[in-house]
Amino acid sequence: MPGRNIRVSGSPSTWTLPASRPRSAPSATPTTVSALMESTIGLFKTELIKPGRPWRTLSQVELATAEWIDWYCHRRLHGEIGHIPPAEYETNYYRATTKPQVTTTI
């Protein structure tokens, strides 16, 4: 089946998650990572690659891909996180969970 030959570098034993992830968040397993990758790749193909046919050059595909990724991360409103873009949600999360640095002067 086309599009099934996906390679992930490293092995499951070397995959890590940020230490600041919530304790209630499930750990990423190869199965969940693979499912997420396949879902995103399918969305990418449906929204960008197939409607844009015929692609005349590799440069066209590369530029369109960069633009789509920028939209996907910075402007797409995601319903599961309060209808805000993922990048904004991530910024808000780290702003809320980062402890301020305490400095003293003597």
- Flag whether 69 is in a domain: yes
Q: How many domains does the chain have?
A: 1
- Flag whether 89 is in a domain: yes
Q: Which domain holds residue 45?
A: 30-97
Residue 5 has pLDDT above 70, yes or no: no
pLDDT tens digits, one per residue of 15-26? 454 555 555 555
- Flag whether 21 is in a domain: no
- Flag whether 24 is in a domain: no
What lies within 8 Å, CB to CB, of 49 at 6+ separation is: 55, 61
Given pLDDT bands bounded at 50, 70 and 90, which one contains residue 7?
very low
- Flag whether 25 is in a domain: no
The per-residue DSSP string of the chain comes to -TT-----SS-GGG----TTS-TTSPPP-HHHHHHHHHHHHHHHIIIIITTTPSP--HHHHHHHHHHHHHHHHHT--BGGGTSB-HHHHHHHHHHHHSPPPP----
Q: Give the pLDDT confidence score for residue 87 in this predicted structure.
A: 94
- Flag whether 20 is in a domain: no
What lies within 8 Å, CB to CB, of 43 at 6+ separation is: none
